[in-house]
Every structure is written in C-alpha cells, then in structure tokens.
Structure 1
C-alpha cells in the first residue's frame, strides 16, 4: 500500500508539471510575436551602392562625390602610390575616399553616411580623419608657389601683355562658416552675421591656389591676416606683384586699383574708360576676377564650406586646406567639369564685388604707385595713338 501511494504521488507530480508547462506555453503564445527581419547582406548592398555612384554616369557621380569617375580613380591612385592610404580589413580605399568626398560635398552627419554605407558612426568618423590627413599631406605637392615666368594667361592676351607681365596672381580673403565655443564667438562674427573664419589665399591665373592660410577669426581684416602671412615667411619674388583690392593697400608686391575711380566691370558696360586710371581699373578688375572664380568654384563644389560645421575648430581649419588641395587637384585633371562651367556662367552674368569703405583703405607705397601709374599711362597712350592713327587714315582717304 505504501508503495502504491508513492507511485500515485509521483504520477500526480508529473501530471502537475506537464499541466504547468502547457499553461506556460499557452500564455507565451498569447504575447505579441517578434517577427524576424530578413537577412541583409550588408557587404553586397554596400558594394552595390558604391558601384551605383561610380558607374551610373558622370553627372550622377558628380552630384554624389563632386567629381567625375576618372578624377576619382586618379585621386585614389595618387593616395595609394604615395603610401598615404591603404586598404584595411574593414574598408577599401575606394570606399574611404567616397565617404570622405560625400561628407565634404554635402556636409552630412557621420551617422547619415553610416546608415547609407552600413557602417557605424565611429567607423565613419575614424576613416574620415584618416583620409583628411592623407589629403593634407598632398598640400606641398599640389599647392605650389607660382612660377616667376610670364604666365600663359597673361602672355596670350593682348589686353594684359605686356602691361601685366610682372604679375604672378591675385590675393584675396574669403569667409567660411565656423563653429566655435560661445565665449569666443564675438571674435569670429563676420560682417554679414554668423561666426566665420577668415581664409586668405593667393591664386594664379589658372585659378589654382598657390598659398592658403585658414583659421583667422571672421572679424579680422584682410590686411591684418596678410601681416600674419608675411610674418610666417611668405615671400613675393623681387619685381613681381599680386593683384589685390584696395583693402590690402599698395604695399610692396601688391597692386591695388585706383581709389575713387570706376572699377567694377558692370560700371563699364555702356561707358568705356575715359582716362588711363579707368582703363587700368577695368583691366585690373577683369584679371583679378580669377581669385573670386577660384573661391566660387571651391564653395560650389564642396558645400561643407558654406554651412555651419559640426566638428572641432582644428578639424574645420584642416578641412578648408583639404578642400583647396582637392580643388587644385581637379584643376589639373578635370578643369572643365559641369560645376566649373556653371560657376563661370554665373560670374559672367553677375559682378559680385562690393565697394570698400574708407576704413578698409591703407596707405600706399610710392613704389607701387609709380608702377601702377606707368602701366596705366602706357596702356592709355597706346589707345590714344591708335585713335589718332585711325583719324589720320580717314582724313587721308578723303
């Protein structure tokens, strides 16, 4: 009897356990079920995304990474050949450069790029800085001082040669949006509002940057930034000149236009120059537009320079320099892409220069005044002689 009771108790316990498991299973099935997502082959999708950028036509590629495929592959080859970039276990050189160019071209956040290329935010951040440093190492090779020989863009145009044969480029400053701590924002607040950094650059007549200094606060005047440039060892070859606006003054090596004299191209549209000063200013304005053209192409191509950045200020300065390196590289391998043509058309139809205030004018040196006067007088004399000769021909024919 005792044995029989033990067996019954065991059976009852087993039945109770089974019933408990059945009840738990029944309750579990009442909970909302999590539907398993289909498997995503991230490597395959990432490769397809890269191929769509590079192999769907020049226009599509230009819109995505701001350069055409041939220029992109040329840039990748240079970075690899110089030992500046290498493929890693995680990411190819091609993907590293595409991510970097897309960030500069559109100023998107790291997490946005990460979502598009199936990468973590940390990975995008890491490789962005790897490529940034690689591009900066190309600076001495790509951003070179101008040659002291007569530049073809001067020599081949009668309006400028021989009058501007000693000119090696143009110098000017531009403002780039900056993000800085609130305690120093007043120093970086530019004339048009918002915080900016003042970037000073020299440009040759092929619209290539020959020197770039970034990082000055937006409230700093161009002449103050120039003094810093000169203190850093920037040299202007003896007897050579840069075209400058009146804000720089006529210090040695810089040639501004005549003050209080018509200067802007639109002012001469229906009224040709009436004296040597106006003629000089007209040609000065025509040729100095190259520096505004260079800045225009740079900002149109790489939108990161025209919106508020989201990284540290040191990185912001490095990004400006890297953008100038990319600009010069493209001027060498693909100087007439769609972005360049669009900027040229816009500049042909609009004169964006503004009048300078008296506060921005600086004392001129006698050397530059004499040089400018000699050029202006020589150009005007030629015009006068040609007009007289034509009149004599008309009289003799009568």
Structure 2
C-alpha cells in the first residue's frame, strides 16, 4: 500500500507540473508581441557620418570642420608624416582631427561631440588633448617671421609702392574671451568689460600670421606686450631697416610706424572728403594697408567659434587653443588661399575720424629716427599725389 501511495503522489505532482506548464505556455502565446529596436552599429554610424562630412561637397565640409577636404587631408598628412599624430587601435588620425576641428569650429561641448561620434566623454577629452599637442608642434612650420623682401601686395599697388617698400607686415592685438580664477580676474578685465586675454599678432599682407603671442592679461597695454615680445629669447624680431605698421596705441619706435596722432585717420581717397595734406594722406594709406590685421582677426574668430565663446578649459589650454587656431589658419591659407570661407567673413568698418591728441610724455617717447622716416614717406607720397591730381 505504501508503494501505491508514493506512486500516486508522483503521478499527481507530474500532472500538476504539466498543467502549470500548459497554462504558462498559453499565457506567453496570448501576450502581445513587443518588437525590439535594432541595435545601432556605432562603428558604421560613425564612419558614415565622417564620410558625409568629407565626401558630400566642399560646403558641407566647411560647415562642419571649417575647411575644405583638400586642406583637411593635407593637414592629416603633415601631422602623420612628421610623426606628430598617429592612429591608435580605437581611433584613426582622420577621426581624431575631425573631432578636434568640430569642437573648435563650433565650441561644441565634449558631451555633445561624444554623442554625435558614439564616443565616451573621456575618449573625446583624451584625443582632444592629443590633437592639440600635435597641432602646437606645427607652430615653427606654419608661422614664420618674414624675410627682407618687399611683399608683392605693396609692390603691385601704386598707392603703397615705393613709399612702404621697407614694410614687411602689420601689427595689432585682439582680445579673446578668457576664464580665470576669481582672485586674478581684475587683471584680465578689458576696457570693454569681461575677462579676456590680449593676443599680439604680426600679419603678412597675404593674410598669414607671422608671429603670435597669447596669454597676456586683458588689461595690459599693447606697447607693454610688444616690448615683452621683442625681448623674449627667440621671440619677435624685426629685420634691420624694416618695419611693421601698427595703430596709434603702439606709438612710433624702432621698427614700428604708427599713424600721426591728432590727424584725421579714416578718409576716402576718391571722394568729396579727400586728404588735405601729407599727414592725412599718410594716415589714409597706412590705414588701408594695416586693416589686413583686422581682416585676419575677423576671419579667425568667425572660422573658429571657440575664440568668441566662454572657455571651459584651464587657462594654459585657452592659450594653446588660440595658437592652434592661428596655426590651422596659416595651414589653410598655404594649401588653399582661395578658401571660400574667407569670402564675406570680414566687413571693413565705415570711415570715421580719429583726433586723439598726443601727450607730452608720448611725444618724448617717440623715436626721432622713425618719426623722421614717417615724415619722409608722407612727404614723398603727398608730392606724387598732388602731381597726379593737379
């Protein structure tokens, strides 16, 4: 009897299991089928996006990375050939450079870029630093002081030649927004408000940078920054007998010729408000030639939006980014001087008059030799101007 009892128990348990199983299968079948989304192949999506930037037209490439494909591939080649940048197991050179250019071109946060390229924030941050260091190594190759020859932009223009035959470039400063600790913000506050770094640059008339010094406080005077540049080891130097054009803030000194103070500065040579004397004519043509600097700064800031936005890096990185942007600018101008991004990126200001007076102290500081040279240029220019327009 005991054996029959055990047998019945086993049969009962098995029957219950079968019934439970049947009920479970029925419930599963009666459920609505839930469709699963296909998983994104990140590698394929990333590659497709990069290809869409580089191979769907120059304008699309310019819109995203601020240069044409020709300049981009040439930049990658230079970085690789000089062993400044190499592909890794996780990211090739092409992607590294595209991500860097995308960030500085549009001031995009690492989080947003990471999402777009299917990369982690840590990966984006790491490769941004790697590419920045690589670009900085190009400084000596891309930014060079001029030789002693007269620039073709002067030789080929009768308004400037032979008067400015010894001029090798133009000099000016610009303010770039800066983020610094509260305890030193006062030193970085510029006259227009906000914290900035004051960047000194020498420019060729073909729109290339010849020298760049970044990192000075926004409150620093232009002439003080220039003095620092001239006294640095392997810093800024001016060939013997040559000079740069600069605005009135730099004064006239050895190798620097500024406009006459207390004289109308912006006029129109061919209008009803023509220059009335040698100094006005000199200031007019000095301004026409020197606006190259303002044009380059305008192009630079519109090409790289990172320069016109609140920085989110440490200050040394902010300095390096400014230099990197000037290096890339020179690279583009060297590979593709007719880059369409330069068209319409800078609008020359409307003519106006400047009549700021020269103080006694500033008069004493003017270098007599170069003031005399300026007078000679102005007089020769005025004599020719009168003869032509008589």
TM-score exceeds 0.5: yes
User: 2 CA distance for matches of 1:322 and 1:196?
Assistant: 17
User: 2 CA distance for matches of 1:267 and 1:386?
Assistant: 13
Partner of 1:316: 318
Compared with structure 1, are the counterparts of its residues 11 and 386 closer, same or farther at alpha carbon in structure 2 (3 Å cutoff)? same
For normalisation by structure 2, the TM-score amounts to: 0.89
Partner of 1:58: 58
Is the counterpart of residue 164 in structure 1 residue 197 in structure 2? no
Post-superposition CA distance 1:105-146 (Å, at most 9, x none): 100011111111111111111111111111111100110001
78-87 or 161-170: bigger deviation = 78-87
Partner of 2:210: 210
User: 1 CA distance for matches of 2:249 and 2:172?
Assistant: 9
Matched residue SS, 1:284: helix
User: 1 CA distance for matches of 2:249 and 2:307?
Assistant: 23
User: 2 CA distance for matches of 1:8 and 1:205?
Assistant: 104
User: 1 CA distance for matches of 2:316 and 2:131?
Assistant: 16
Partner of 1:150: 150
Is the counterpart of residue 40 in structure 1 residue 40 in structure 2? yes
User: 2 CA distance for matches of 1:27 and 1:211?
Assistant: 77
Matched residue SS, 1:311: coil
Post-superposition CA distance 1:323-361 (Å, at most 9, x none): 0001111111112222211125x22x64599886878x9
**1:270 Cα deviation from its structure 2 partner:** 3.2
User: 2 CA distance for matches of 1:9 and 1:355?
Assistant: 113
Matched residue SS, 1:187: helix
User: 1 CA distance for matches of 2:161 and 2:97?
Assistant: 42
Partner of 1:249: 251
Matched residue SS, 1:324: helix
Post-superposition CA distance 1:211-263 (Å, at most 9, x none): 10111111111112112212213221211111011111112111010001011
Matched residue SS, 1:98: helix
Post-superposition CA distance 1:77-108 (Å, at most 9, x none): 11111111222111121111111111111000
User: 2 CA distance for matches of 1:326 and 1:205?
Assistant: 17
Match for 1:328 among 305, 330, 339? 330
**1:308 Cα deviation from its structure 2 partner:** 0.8
User: 2 CA distance for matches of 1:350 and 1:122?
Assistant: 47
Q: Could you tell me whether the CA contact under 8 Å between 2:200 and 2:225 is conserved in 1?
A: yes
Q: Could you tell me whether the CA contact under 8 Å between 1:144 and 1:211 is conserved in 2?
A: yes
**1:45 Cα deviation from its structure 2 partner:** 1.1
**1:290 Cα deviation from its structure 2 partner:** 0.8
Post-superposition CA distance 1:168-215 (Å, at most 9, x none): 111110011111122222221222222111101111111111110111
Partner of 2:67: 67
Partner of 1:340: 342
Q: How does 1:91-110 map to 2 (within 5 A)?
A: 91-110=91-110
User: 1 CA distance for matches of 2:111 and 2:203?
Assistant: 36
User: 1 CA distance for matches of 2:79 and 2:186?
Assistant: 39
User: 2 CA distance for matches of 1:153 and 1:383?
Assistant: 20
Is the counterpart of residue 371 in structure 1 residue 373 in structure 2? yes
Match for 1:286 among 264, 288, 292? 288
User: 1 CA distance for matches of 2:355 and 2:315?
Assistant: 31
Q: Could you tell me whether the CA contact under 8 Å between 1:265 and 1:285 is conserved in 2?
A: no
Partner of 1:194: 194
Matched residue SS, 1:374: helix
Q: Which runs of 5+ in 1 are unaligned?
A: 391-398
Q: Could you tell me whether the CA contact under 8 Å between 1:201 and 1:213 is conserved in 2?
A: yes
User: 2 CA distance for matches of 1:386 and 1:117?
Assistant: 62
Partner of 2:306: 304
Q: How does 1:5-24 map to 2 (within 5 A)?
A: 5-6=5-6
Compared with structure 1, are the counterparts of its residues 20 and 156 closer, same or farther at alpha carbon in structure 2 (3 Å cutoff)? same
User: 1 CA distance for matches of 2:214 and 2:34?
Assistant: 54
**1:147 Cα deviation from its structure 2 partner:** 1.3
Matched residue SS, 1:88: coil
Q: Say how many residue pairs are matched.
A: 385
Post-superposition CA distance 1:59-88 (Å, at most 9, x none): 111111101111111111111111112221
Matched residue SS, 1:145: coil
Q: Could you tell me whether the CA contact under 8 Å between 1:246 and 1:356 is conserved in 2?
A: no
Compared with structure 1, are the counterparts of its residues 146 and 44 closer, same or farther at alpha carbon in structure 2 (3 Å cutoff)? same
Compared with structure 1, are the counterparts of its residues 322 and 304 closer, same or farther at alpha carbon in structure 2 (3 Å cutoff)? same
